[in-house]
Structure 1
């Protein structure tokens, strides 16, 4: 009972002390609440954004009981898993005939008696928009039926009723510039529909589609195609059926098995939520169906890591606050000793402060985390592209997070409590701090830990062991933490020749390492994690960009005729493009060449266009050594850098040239002039331009050249009605081979998408080749927007719809960009918070020094500038150390990726092993320059420049 009485008194003293020093208490509460807030928000967001099985089923079938679909094998037995993801045919089943010999399946005949169903079928379509026309998808589904709720929800307006009405997704309306009440016309049958409402698919917020009642689109479209041969009939996708079982009985597993006998696949809500035992699943009897790996262990590891970081930051940030509080209350603690209190009771008073403020911070953090998640829920859903089902609050998890905040508040007060308990009553009453020498062992241990940690992390990266990478990175970071007091002490020596305020800030940081070093460590911990993930993410993005097979060169778009008969539409298409796109002035008209006579299509199976072939010489430098015999052995001897260099050589780059959008044939020969070099190839070489003007082809891939010449092989075909071609090439198909002198471009231009050689028109005429216009390439100031593309598409449709706009699809980096932004903001907030609390503690801890400054006549602005520089010292030091510490795990993880890439390359020599390590300079610059300066300015702005002189105590 005496123990409880002592703690009750200690808690009462701590509560009163917290209320008395409201500013310092608020700082401690904030530092405890911020990490708790972050972990709480992350927990609620993660739990809420992970759809349950029931929510996934609702996203697929609304409130229906099942989705029935044909497998395409006809009315033949099949077997499926309960989740309908995997299916197959039984080993002892009948042989499946060819596709054109299969009878269609009567899917509704497989429904249980008394069932009610809806049909769903989609068709690709071109519709008018505010800006022009757009490609989209029209789905025939009775959206007004209650069975669709949850899969598709009405946001505004009303559901469609009748043949002339549709609803549209919000994403479509935004990109098309339309709204509820707008009208859109389906190109082809030229049927106009009124948009009566906007809808969203909770699981696919970015889906762009129109929805109409069954029979409102496909039937009139087919009828129009039957009346008018110019109307192209629709090509709808497979139909599915949303089924509700009889009298709410649902669709059972026996119902599913009966449907399987007719070749029908069924996703049943009842079966998916309550699967049958494996013994009742026929597919498992003879198929090895493995489920996807459980990622719960990885999620748990990530959760533990996040919580550990939060605990570390709380202890590092709140610890100095309790230390300063203990020093500010040392007279009160001394009075406890004079009244008979022992050292344990003095420690209890300080620990009670941690308990009181930890409890307040934990509760505040959990409440604020939940509130912020609710407030920013729409924004988070927009980032993820799907709606939350219900906000998922796990009481035990939230209680655990609060307890962690409470416990770490107590841990943060532990070291100050021990120090306060060791002080004598005389020191406490007189206010003398005494003198302590810095530990000489700790920095040595820190340096050893740093070296060992880096070595272990790098070894783990090269060995492919992520556990060693994680362990080594943690040891290295702890090593840096151990060295921080020495680094902070060294800072005091740097200000010898600096002005008064920065010199005092550096010396104050060095003299009061007890509060400066933990704050620097907290900033370092936050920045290290951010820089590690940002470095890894930026490196992966660079790898994806390198592996991305471009269809056009950067900053260009192309107009291409879809077939030779559409060439006469190019003139109108060019006018439309130049009017609607952000063309910067660069333009090049290109043509194609062929050896045949009557080439009416670009892709003629029977070589009606003839063939053109650039013959690649044999020998080293012409044939890619990573193909054919000996390629695997060569790959095993190459490093990643050597492999990258070899893959960048003209001989190997040529293997991927077919991905180009300017596909004029297997030879990749384009008829053009010097404007093509400047606008598309980006080759600013007067000699190359002069060569084209003189009739000399420009070869972009030197692997095809030998002694400055190329071999062009042509197989000429002709049509009996083509008298001109008959005169040039009489008789049957004729093969000609010409040696052409060429201008060979530098090797880096061998990767130009779609072009291997530029052939002047005069040379094509001299060789007796047929040529025709193919398209136009433009340089643009920015990629075309949705509105610009729709406007151009409308003009192309009016011209005859035979020309299309080719735009480079960039590497998708939206998710990575959002991650980097969030990480930078998180690290910035922690850095500002740590710098702010350190500045506040410095002010509270150095009131006597500031009073002395004012007494000796220091200008009022010194106090303000001193606060600002104190903040900059903490923020900048922590950011620089954190950047260095964060690079270690990122580099080690990239070494793991490199090992995997090298193994893949040795199995498939043409696979890229390029695994770059790219530093996120924008994120580092934001943290190293903007955040410290902002922290210093804010500290200076909120610091008072006037100080009232107080009577000297004692």
Structure 2
């Protein structure tokens, strides 16, 4: 018999065996298909989300040939893509050039479409909302690809608009709703809902050119109380004459007129460097980054652990399948089959089921990506240009799945070929002692892998991080049989079913260990990514600088006229927002003229300065001349501790939330301490009542006093103040006794010192009510903000409510999605491996029923078997996943420390935060759910099988 004939027979036997045991074959196929599915979906999603240059141009230009805009520099020179440009003279103009006549820059015979935006307030279902209104002919064919209509129709006149879906949702509006642009009072009807494929979260309104800005400007010219529209400069989408496009010659001509051009034709077919004038004067503009040749540490680690996961998921399936086919393989031996033919049959099973799993994984992964595409696009924040399916990629993934199936069947094939015919026919496994060398070797390999990964993290070598993580996981795999063997000793005090499950796992560790390894592999990568993301989220939270203290909002008046409307605005806030009862009123304070504009003579306005003493405890060591030398000696923790001291904290909390200068001095009373500062100190309240300022940053105090310098100069153009304060400018330096708060209050956003009203008057300073701060139970919702804005606008406007926007929460959303994904993968792997283990233990379950065990014991035993496998795998996977996560954070720490030494004020804070929610879900919820499902889907009764032999 030839080799091909023998393999043909082996494949035929494998195919028939797979069809005969459909349940077991389905589990084996699922084992291989699961990782192939994930890789296929990830490949298609990655390539589809990464827009091609042509798709990026479409998102910017729509169906137009070019985008023209005024550079504001006079004649310019630009790069072909239009992203970089400079003045043709190489110097900035001495004065701002007049806006150019853009139509003169277009090629002769071209068709142009203008776009101009203006910030405005419009009425909503709840009240009033601020939104960007864009004048743009959305119904024109040049807008296709840039703006897409989802519902309704495009505007057909000056009284109609379309809106993006996010704006409609936040405003409680819908197609057909009527809105009013409040400054002009003109009403519009929303005729359609649109989306921007490049920005699905944009909140904008679109109207035809001339529908909003022109009537608003006319109203402002007629009524001086109406603010003029602050419209941005117009841009133009241009279609070349005769659809010839916009050539490089057209771009150069437009540059002479002062227009910067992004041309589709030029971007796709750039001219040679010799024809680019900008490169002759600035050769460095052509130095584009080639990107790192080395793959990022995170990507290498994830890919390496994914490959290991595929092997571990497929290996147990074929090991169990080979044991279930022992009798058939024994019969093959009795018919004259040799060891190579027995191995061929097992490998044929790997080839058949591996091929089926690879094909099923690719097909299901493709279909799943197509079905989930809208959800993926919404999460990514932009639409795919097209669903990019590369047959070569899918073929490679399928071939890898097939090869993985064959390799996973290799070890079971070798074991099956070594078994005697008698042992295969009787089904006896014999008693084998576990190897003592394997766990010791595994422990050594585990320690070596951890050391390599940590060293890679400290040295910034991504290859060592990935390699060390995989080596550590392999070492942990070698220790799994011993760990599983110890489980049997834990069952002594448990009831019957969990005790039997633990002992069965320990007795059949050859079956349990691969199942645990599969779950561990599924969990390790998820925990690694979740830990890394949770850590970077904590770093982002640390770097976030709040405008207000947590749980507060502020009401601010823009000018003296708006101050008169403060009582009505306060009533609106207290009625519409979740105010908890705490309110503190604030006044701003200044010396001399209240200058809010720049004058030629900077000394023509008064000033007020809180002098910071010099010396230790007052000057930040990271801001003086020896900062770099100091930074090289500091650890990350020491640098963080120093940055949080009062002397250095101003580098992070110097925003003037309640004042126009950087001194952050406000006038307030004891209510401000309780409501905003969260300083519940009777002594501080008593100090304010007695006229003593409260200093929140002790670095400005010396011997319990601060130095306040004031320049009571008045702007010569401020005739009213000059009449009230004739004579020479007066300068004062006052030493004030202050109450110094504890160091932790130095981080209070926007306030450095609270000055009592009577003290400000005694010092000759000017004060004016600024607004109020409130304690709230939650940040204002869109509806609450819009209701409040409507009430304030009806009272005359000029006031606004401010709240903390908070750090970017997209990472937390991604972490939630990752947690759910990890739970599904873990539960699926646990269910599949437990199903295979149950199939392997079918004889034991049959014996259990034969000796009179109640039907519920069978269910509970299956449930606890699944629980043991899932819980053990999750705990080991969590430990394995922490290795690459910690190593990757060490890479980040190394980069942050290098940046700190170059810029000492930059924080090297790179915490390692465990995602307890993810770990809790995986370690508690998923195993319990997997065990419950296993028990629910296990038949209580089973028909006794015919005795073999």
Q: TM-score, normalised by structure 2?
A: 0.95
Task: Give the secondary-structure state (helix, strand or coil) at the position aligned to 1:575.
Answer: helix
Using the TM superposition, give the Cα deviation of residue 913 of structure 1 relative to its aligned residue in structure 2, in angstroms.
Answer: 1.8
Determine if contact 1:314/1:412 at 8 Å carries over to the other structure: no
Match of 2:429 in 1: 433
Following TM superposition, by how much is the alpha carbon of 1:304 offset from its aligned partner in structure 2, in angstroms? 7.3
Alignment of 1:480-495 (within 5 A): 480-495=476-491
Q: Of the candidates 244, 250, 258, which is equivalent to residue 249 of structure 1?
A: 244
The residue aligned with 2:227 is: 232
> Is residue 825 of structure 2 the alignment partner of residue 830 of structure 1?
yes
Give yes or no for contact 1:347–1:420 (8 Å, CA) kept in 2. yes
Change (3 A) 1:791 1:426: same
Match of 1:218 in 2: 213
Question: Hey, what does 1:379 align to over in structure 2?
Answer: 375
Say yes or no: does 1:52 pair with 2:52: yes
1:570 and 2:601 aligned: no
The aligned counterpart of 1:659 is: 655
Q: Does structure 2 conserve the Cα–Cα contact (< 8 Å) formed by 1:565 and 1:600?
A: no
For residues 165-244 of structure 1, the aligned pairs below 5 Å read 165-244=160-239
Pairing partner for 2:813 from 805, 814, 818 = 818
> 1:305 deviation in Å?
6.0
Task: State the partner residue of 1:550.
Answer: 546
| Residue of structure 2 equivalent to 1:747 | 743
Is 1:540 the equivalent of 2:549? no
Alpha carbons 2:304, 2:466 under 8 Å: kept: no
Give the whole-Å Cα distance in 2 for the aligned partners of 1:653 and 1:870. 56
**Alpha-carbon shift at residue 723 of structure 1 (Å):** 15
Partner of residue 456 from structure 1, selected from 452, 455, 461: 452
Displacement after TM superposition at 1:24 (Å): 0.7
2:609 aligned to which of 600, 609, 613: 613
Residues 866 and 296 (structure 1), Cα distance of their counterparts in 2 relative to 1, 3 Å cut: farther
**Aligned alpha-carbon RMSD (Å):** 2.7
| Cα distance change, pair 900–229 in 1 and its aligned pair in 2 (3 A) | same
Give 3-state SS (helix, strand or coil) of 1:436's partner.
coil
**Aligned twin of 2:84:** 86
Equivalent residue, structure 1, for 2:275: 280
Deviation track 1:725-746 (CA, whole Å, cap 9, x = no partner) reads: 9999885333334433322211
- Maintained 8 Å contact 1:564/1:600: no
Q: Distance in 1 between matches of 2:287 and 2:929?
A: 51
Deviates more, 1:598-607 or 1:477-486: 598-607
Deviations 1:139-194 (A, max 9, x none): 22211111211111222111112221222122221212112221211122211112
For residues 316 and 889 of structure 2, the distance between their equivalents in structure 1, rounded to whole angstroms, comes to 36
Distance 1:818 1:725 in 2: 55
Instruction: Give the Å deviation of 1:345.
Output: 0.9
Query: SS of the counterpart of 2:629?
Result: helix
What is the CA distance between 1:6 and its match in structure 2? 1.5
Equivalent residues of 2:301, 2:466 under 8 A apart: no
Equivalent residue of 2:58, what SS?
helix
Residues 799-823 of structure 1, C-alpha deviations (whole Å, 9 max, x = no match): 2222111111211121x12332232
Kept after mapping to 1: 8 A contact 2:124/2:173: yes
CA distance in 2, matches of 1:209, 1:202: 13
For 1:878 and 1:660, the matched residues in 2 are separated by: 53
Pick aligned residue for 1:703 from 692, 695, 699:
699
Task: Judge conservation of contact 1:469–1:889 (CA < 8 Å) in 2.
Answer: yes
Which residue pairs with 1:626 in the alignment?
622
For 2:218, what is the secondary structure of its paired residue? helix
Structure 2 partner of 1:14: 14
Provide the rounded CA distance (Å) in 2 between the counterparts of 1:305 and 1:914: 23
What residue number does 2:5 align with? Answer: 5
Q: Out of 17-26 and 721-730, give the one that drifted further.
A: 721-730
1:894 is aligned, of 884, 889, 893, to: 889
Q: Distance in 1 between matches of 2:297 and 2:903?
A: 33
- More displaced, 683-692 or 371-380? 683-692
SS where residue 462 of structure 1 aligns? Answer: helix
The alpha-carbon distance between structure 1 residues 140 and 929, as it changes in their structure 2 partners (threshold 3 A), is same
CA offset digits 1:625-679 (Å, max 9, x no partner):
2222222222222111111111111111134433142226443222222221121
Indicate the larger mover: 826-835 or 299-308. 299-308
Name the CA distance, whole Å, in 2 between partners of 1:719 and 1:151.
50
Question: Within 1, Cα distance between the matches of 2:726 and 2:259?
Answer: 59
How far the C-alpha of 1:853 sits from its partner, in A, is: 2.6
Residues 608 and 779 of structure 1, relative CA distance in 2, 3 Å threshold:
farther
Does the C-alpha gap of structure 1 residues 349 and 794 become closer, same or farther in structure 2, counting only changes over 3 Å? same
Q: Residues of 2 paired with 1:719 and 1:303: CA distance?
A: 60
Who is 1:349 aligned against?
345
The answer to whether the Cα contact below 8 Å between 2:656 and 2:663 also exists between their aligned partners in 1 is no
- 1:512 corresponding residue in structure 2: 508
Alignment pair present for 1:155 and 2:150: yes
Partner-residue secondary structure (3-state), 2:14: helix
Q: Would you say the 8 A contact 2:484–2:505 is kept in 1?
A: yes
Aligned equivalents of 1:887, 1:308: Cα separation in 2 = 15
User: Is 1:592 matched up with 2:618?
Assistant: no
Partners in 1 of 2:598 and 2:274 — Cα distance? 53
C-alpha change, 1:6 and 1:666, in structure 2 (3 Å) is: closer
C-alpha separation between the residues in 2 aligned to 1:719 and 1:473? 68
SS at match of 2:365: helix
Partner of 1:412: 408
The residue aligned with 1:795 is 791
User: Could you say which residue in structure 2 is the equivalent of 1:499?
Assistant: 495
Contact preservation (8 Å) 1:594, 1:609: no
Structure 1 counterpart SS, 2:133: strand
1:859 and 2:854 are equivalent in the alignment: yes
Contact 2:304–2:470 (8 Å) recurs in 1: no
In 1: Cα distance, 2:826 partner to 2:661 partner: 58
Equivalent residues of 1:117, 1:244 under 8 A apart: yes
Call closer, same or farther: CA 1:175–1:875 in 2, change over 3 Å.
same
Deviation at 1:69, TM superposition (A): 2.1
Q: Could you list the runs of 5+ residues in structure 1 that have no partner in the other structure?
A: none
How far apart are residue 397 of structure 1 and its match?
Answer: 0.9
- The answer on 1:934 being equivalent to 2:926 is no
C-alpha distance in 1, partners of 2:742/2:271?
65
Shift of 1:431: 1.4
Looking at structure 2, the residues matched to 680 and 352 of structure 1 have their Cα atoms a distance apart, in angstroms, of 73
Q: Is the 8 A contact 2:552 2:676 kept in 1?
A: yes
1:141 matched to 2:136: yes
**Structure-2 change in CA distance of 1:563 and 1:104 (3 Å):** closer
Q: 1:655 to 1:303 in 2, by over 3 A?
A: closer
User: Equivalent residues in 2 for 1:312-323 (5 A)?
Assistant: 312-323=308-319
Asked if the contact 2:451/2:468 (under 8 Å) is kept, the reply is yes
1:884-928 CA-partner distances (Å, limit 9, x unpaired):
121122222222222222222222221112221111111111111
Pair 31,431 (structure 1): closer, same or farther in 2 beyond 3 Å: same
1:910 and 2:922 equivalent? no
Question: Which segment drifts farther, 404-413 or 605-614?
Answer: 605-614
Among 864, 867, 873, the residue aligned to 2:868: 873
In structure 1, distance between residues paired with 2:526 and 2:897: 28
1:234 is paired with a residue whose SS is coil
Aligned partners of 1:33 and 1:361 also within 8 Å: yes
Q: What is the TM-score of this pair, normalised by structure 1? A: 0.94
After superposition, the C-alpha distances for 1:226-274 in whole angstroms (9 at most, x for unaligned) are: 2222222222212222111122221222222232233322222122222
Give the secondary-structure state (helix, strand or coil) at the position aligned to 2:231. coil
Larger CA deviation: 817-826 vs 37-46: 817-826
CA contact (8 A) 1:716 1:733 kept: yes
Task: Tell me the matched-pair count.
Answer: 947
Q: 1:236 to 1:784 in 2, by over 3 A?
A: same
Deviation at 1:204, TM superposition (A): 1.5
For residues 636-785 of structure 1, what are the structure 2 equivalents within 5 Å? 636-663=632-659, 665-716=661-712, 732-785=728-781
Deviations 1:850-881 (A, max 9, x none): 23333333332222221111111111111111
Where structure 2 has 5 or more consecutive residues not aligned to the other structure, the ranges are none
State the SS of the aligned residue for 1:448.
helix
> Counterparts of 1:908 and 1:305 in 2: how far apart (Å)?
30
